[in-house]
């Protein structure tokens, strides 16, 4: 479901709302399967309709979203309200014509891909061949064909023979944007593995392993937990990929495995609060990250991710500048330029700065998205969706 | 952070705790390191066993918390191995010593109160006394005979005690030796600990775990089952029943830590955890007790009865 706020020159209204998944009950385990959607991915558009994949913990669905703004009128055998006419009363014939009507948006489920995941699905990614896609849960990655719902192929399986030896899980996976046999998956230990499906049917052996050695000066009890990668996104060229862990965003060059080329601190001031954040579970929050969109073949220059207190952050890779903005109704009227925010980590708080202790950790921005072509962004807070636009437009 | 007023104090305390990275080898800051480590250990235990989800718990979260517990146990074990004293052994066949071993945590439950202030002074062997892991590891052998496997994940084998009963009395002596006169700070900590051990929070309620594992510990042997069906059913919770689960069941000696645990908010939360370890204890002590034993029955045995039972066990 979507609710929109108009916060920019354009006005936005809800386009369509539909129920994608329903809660289910797993009788075998006596546990409920939530209807909560974990990921949505759009398919590339081929005709007038839009297609998207949405997934909850267990089931992936392909939805077709189509518009209807005309309807035929003037049937010979049917009244306008649909009732059938008695053929004996028909005296003249006419040709039905299309007349405009109020826009109606219809969403219909086209495929249901079920029963392939024992663990909770955390990622789906559509391949550049536009025919297959992958779905990843905590321990396995499966490859599907969009047309075939009763079969999927397991391409990664990291489940140990003895579950008690389990120390690492898969946290995200994505296909390479250009190479249809290449994909990456990230882990709870902060590693990214790049795999080539041509190498073997089961890609348990990676082609590349991306991992940054731990900084000994920052070592703590929580080092492993905060290194867990919550999101991985390729740049459009496929030369770089971006990962999000609890405190930072890292840009990796696919040609260099031993460390990222850039690291951006999202909220370093939380490093001294990790114990509290562990206790209240915030340390397990999964933030996403995104590249800016561009219709030019230019390497992507701005990355964006969310934080707490309804803050979100943008990093400019060229200038190395960063900015913190807030998505809230109280502080921003529509059509005003967003004011940069600053968090005061310690010491004397300047005017307009917000101290770390007054941050609201219930107001978290986990999902942000950038329009693929224009400088329009969508930012999701707990109960609202904000759409912001570049003031230059 | 969530409730600004109250939590602010907590944060300040936590900030004092966390602050910079504290190396375990620093002198006076070793105390705060140990304190922090124990706090995190307790929080991790509570997280794993205290909630009762209607949906499957997140495997990622469970794995991360489990890794945290293992890491802390590793550390404690390594520190404890410097001077093996109270570290228990592999299983004896003798049922009497089985009961003895299970009663041992009960004993430590009493002894750990005075031990706690000693821990603040922080000598290595004391920490090993208080370590659940070393004792518990061997408890798993005697109470879950099917679980004979190596615990996986780089755990050094526990050093063996030669004669259990001998070491028990000598351990008693050592504890009394090591227990120093409490300082003022320690007395404050010791007071609530010693004053009301009955109210001390015990281990998390294992029987309240998700229904996927209703048999409790008896489901552990199923984990060894290579059949994929069983694995799938117990998958997300089953693998927890390695060391950790058994640690919980016998970790009475850990209970005193809960008292000054700054993270445990109310006694309400704590008291919820009390019944199960007591249940296990009750079950094993059933032959010696006149009370009927039922699971989930609140732990009603009082201190004098416990003393009596201990005498019976030790005396025979």
* pLDDT of A374 above 60: yes
- pTM for this model (two decimals): 0.65
Winning range, highest mean pLDDT, from A41-55, B49-63, B167-181: A41-55
Q: Does B263 touch chain A (CB under 8 A)?
A: yes
> Distance of CA B47 to CAs A247, B55, B151, B203, B264, Å?
22, 15, 21, 12, 12
DSSP secondary structure string for all residues of B18-60: HSS---TTSSTHHHHHHHHHHHHHHHHHHHHHS---SBPPPHH
Of the candidate ranges A11-20, A62-71, A138-147, B149-158, the one whose mean pLDDT is the lowest? B149-158
Place of tokens 């093996």: B84
> Looking at per-residue confidence, does B225 or A213 come out higher?
A213
**A165: which chain B residues are within 8 Å (Cβ-Cβ)?**
152-153, 239
> Looking at per-residue confidence, does A367 or B153 come out higher?
A367
> What is the mean predicted confidence (pLDDT) over A305-322?
94
Q: Does B37 touch chain A (CB under 8 A)?
A: yes
> Distance of CA A201 to CAs A140, A141, A198, A208, B215, Å?
13, 12, 7, 17, 39
* pLDDT of A134 above 60: yes
Å between B229 CA and nearest CA of chain A: 11
* pLDDT of B299 above 60: no
| A-B Cβ pairs (cutoff 8 Å, strict) | 130
CA atoms of A228 and A210, how far apart (whole Å): 13
* pLDDT of A100 above 90: yes
Q: Does B17 touch chain A (CB under 8 A)?
A: yes
Nearest CA in chain A to B46: A279
Place of tokens 């309200």: A81
Q: Does B302 touch chain A (CB under 8 A)?
A: no
Q: Does B149 touch chain A (CB under 8 A)?
A: yes
**B211: which chain A residues are within 8 Å (Cβ-Cβ)?**
29-31
> Looking at per-residue confidence, does B181 or A239 come out higher?
A239
CA atoms of B72 and B93, how far apart (whole Å): 30
Residues sharing a CB contact under 8 Å with residue A321, sequence separation 6 or more, in sequence order: A315
> What is the mean predicted confidence (pLDDT) over A183-192?
97
Place of tokens 């300040």: B12
CA atoms of A20 and B174, how far apart (whole Å): 65
Contact between chains at B2 and A362 (C-beta distance less than 8 A):
yes
**B53: which chain A residues are within 8 Å (Cβ-Cβ)?**
31
Q: Which of B:73-132 have CB within 8 Å of A?
A: none
Beta bridge partners of A368: A379
Å between A351 CA and nearest CA of chain B: 20
Residue A116 confidence (pLDDT): 95
**A161: which chain B residues are within 8 Å (Cβ-Cβ)?**
226
**A358: which chain B residues are within 8 Å (Cβ-Cβ)?**
4
Contact between chains at B263 and A188 (C-beta distance less than 8 A):
no
Å between A15 CA and nearest CA of chain B: 32
Percent above pLDDT 70 for chain A: 94
Confidence at A34, pLDDT banded by 50, 70, 90: very high
Residues sharing a CB contact under 8 Å with residue B225, sequence separation 6 or more, in sequence order: B231
Cα B303 from chain centre: 19
Contact between chains at A171 and B60 (C-beta distance less than 8 A):
yes
Residue B281 confidence (pLDDT): 45
Å between A352 CA and nearest CA of chain B: 19
Å between B137 CA and nearest CA of chain A: 14
Å between B303 CA and nearest CA of chain A: 32
Residue B21 confidence (pLDDT): 46
Confidence at B27, pLDDT banded by 50, 70, 90: low
Q: For residue B15, what are its two tokens?
A: 């900030």
> Looking at per-residue confidence, does B7 or B175 come out higher?
B175
Contact between chains at B2 and A361 (C-beta distance less than 8 A):
yes
Mutation target among B23, B53, B54, B55 for the A interface, most CBs of A within 10 A: B55
Angle at A300 between CA A285 and CA A369, to 5 degrees: 40
**A216: which chain B residues are within 8 Å (Cβ-Cβ)?**
none
* pLDDT of A343 above 50: yes
Q: For residue A178, what are its two tokens?
A: 């250009």
Å between B290 CA and nearest CA of chain A: 37
**A284: which chain B residues are within 8 Å (Cβ-Cβ)?**
58, 60-61, 64
- Give first-to-last CA distance, chain B, whole Å: 54
Mutation target among A166, A231, A280, A359 for the B interface, most CBs of B within 10 A: A166
- Please name the residue ranges forming H helices in chain B: 4-18, 29-49, 59-80, 95-121, 124-130, 132-143, 164-178, 184-195, 220-223, 228-238, 243-250, 255-259, 267-285, 303-315
Query: In this structure, how many other beta carbons lie within 10 angstroms of the beta carbon of residue A292?
Result: 20
> Looking at per-residue confidence, does A245 or B245 come out higher?
A245
Angle at A378 between CA A376 and CA A383, to 5 degrees: 155
Contact between chains at B15 and A272 (C-beta distance less than 8 A):
yes
* pLDDT of B144 above 50: no
Beta strand A5-6 with A385-389: parallel, antiparallel or unpaired? parallel
How large is the ipTM?
A: 0.90
**How is the beta sheet containing A97-113 ordered, strand by strand?**
A39-42, A50-55, A60-73, A97-113
Contact between chains at B153 and A278 (C-beta distance less than 8 A):
no
**B66: which chain A residues are within 8 Å (Cβ-Cβ)?**
167
Contact B4, A354 (CB under 8 A): no
> Looking at per-residue confidence, does A191 or B232 come out higher?
A191
**A24: which chain B residues are within 8 Å (Cβ-Cβ)?**
none
């Amino acid at each position: 479901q979507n609710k929109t706020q108009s916060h920019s020159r354009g006005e936005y209204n809800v386009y369509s709302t539909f129920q994608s998944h329903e809660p289910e009950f797993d009788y075998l385990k006596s546990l409920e399967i939530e209807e909560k959607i974990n990921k949505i991915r759009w398919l590339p558009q081929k005709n007038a309709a839009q297609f998207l994949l949405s997934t909850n913990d267990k089931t992936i669905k392909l939805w077709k979203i189509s518009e209807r703004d005309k309807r035929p009128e003037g049937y010979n055998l049917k009244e306008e309200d649909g009732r059938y006419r008695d053929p004996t009363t028909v005296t003249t014939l006419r040709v039905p014509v299309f007349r405009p009507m109020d826009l109606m948006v219809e969403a219909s489920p086209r495929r249901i891909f079920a029963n392939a995941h024992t663990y909770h699905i955390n990622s789906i990614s559509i391949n550049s061949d536009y025919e297959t896609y992958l779905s990843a849960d905590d321990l396995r990655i499966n490859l599907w064909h969009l047309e075939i719902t009763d079969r999927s192929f397991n391409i990664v399986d990291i489940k140990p023979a003895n579950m008690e030896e389990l120390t690492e899980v898969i946290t995200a996976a994505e296909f390479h944007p250009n190479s249809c046999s290449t994909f990456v998956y990230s882990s709870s230990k902060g590693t990214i593995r790049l795999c080539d499906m041509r190498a073997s049917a089961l890609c348990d052996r990676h082609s590349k392993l991306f991992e940054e050695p731990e900084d000994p000066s920052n070592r703590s009890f929580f080092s492993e937990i905060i290194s867990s990668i919550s999101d991985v996104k390729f740049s459009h060229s496929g030369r770089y990929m971006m990962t999000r862990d609890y405190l930072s965003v890292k840009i990796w060059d696919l040609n260099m495995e031993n460390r990222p080329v850039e690291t951006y601190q999202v909220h370093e001031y939380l490093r001294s609060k990790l114990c509290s954040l562990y206790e209240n579970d915030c340390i397990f929050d999964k933030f996403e990250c995104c590249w800016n969109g561009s219709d030019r073949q230019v390497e992507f220059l701005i990355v964006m991710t969310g934080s707490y207190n309804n803050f979100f952050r943008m990093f400019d890779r060229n200038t190395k500048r960063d900015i913190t903005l807030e998505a809230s109704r109280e502080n921003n009227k529509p059509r005003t330029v967003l004011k940069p925010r600053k968090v005061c980590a310690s010491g004397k708080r300047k005017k307009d700065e917000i101290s770390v202790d007054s941050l609201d950790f219930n107001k978290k921005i986990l999902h942000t998205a950038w329009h693929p072509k224009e400088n329009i962004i969508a930012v999701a807070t707990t109960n609202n969706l904000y759409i912001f636009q570049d003031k230059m437009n | 952070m969530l409730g600004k007023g109250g939590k602010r104090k907590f944060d300040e305390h936590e900030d004092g705790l966390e602050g910079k990275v504290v190396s375990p080898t620093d002198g006076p800051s070793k105390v705060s390191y140990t304190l922090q480590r124990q706090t995190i250990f307790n929080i991790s235990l509570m997280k794993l066993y205290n909630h009762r989800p209607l949906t499957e718990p997140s495997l990622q979260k469970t794995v991360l918390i489990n890794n945290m517990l293992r890491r802390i146990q590793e550390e404690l074990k390594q520190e404890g191995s410097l001077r093996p004293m109270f570290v228990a052994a592999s299983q004896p066949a003798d049922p009497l010593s089985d009961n003895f071993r299970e009663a041992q945590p009960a004993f430590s439950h009493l002894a750990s109160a005075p031990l706690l202030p000693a821990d603040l002074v922080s000598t290595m062997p004391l920490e090993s006394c208080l370590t659940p892991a070393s004792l518990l590891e061997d408890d798993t052998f005697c109470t879950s005979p099917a679980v004979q496997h190596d615990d996986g994940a780089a755990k050094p084998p526990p050093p063996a005690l030669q004669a259990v009963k001998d070491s028990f009395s000598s351990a008693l002596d050592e504890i009394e030796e090591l227990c120093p006169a409490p300082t003022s700070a320690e007395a404050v900590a010791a007071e609530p600990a010693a004053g009301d051990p009955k109210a001390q929070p015990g281990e998390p309620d294992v029987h309240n775990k998700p229904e996927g594992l209703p048999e409790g510990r008896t489901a552990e042997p199923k984990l060894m089952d290579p059949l994929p069906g069983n694995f799938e059913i117990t998958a997300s919770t089953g693998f927890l029943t390695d060391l950790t689960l058994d640690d919980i069941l016998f970790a009475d000696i850990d209970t005193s830590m809960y008292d000054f645990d700054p993270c445990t908010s109310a006694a309400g939360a704590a008291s919820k955890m009390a019944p199960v370890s007591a249940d296990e204890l009750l079950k094993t002590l059933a032959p010696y007790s006149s009370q009927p034993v039922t699971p989930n029955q609140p732990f009603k045995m009082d201190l004098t009865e416990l003393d009596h039972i201990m005498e019976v066990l030790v005396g025979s």
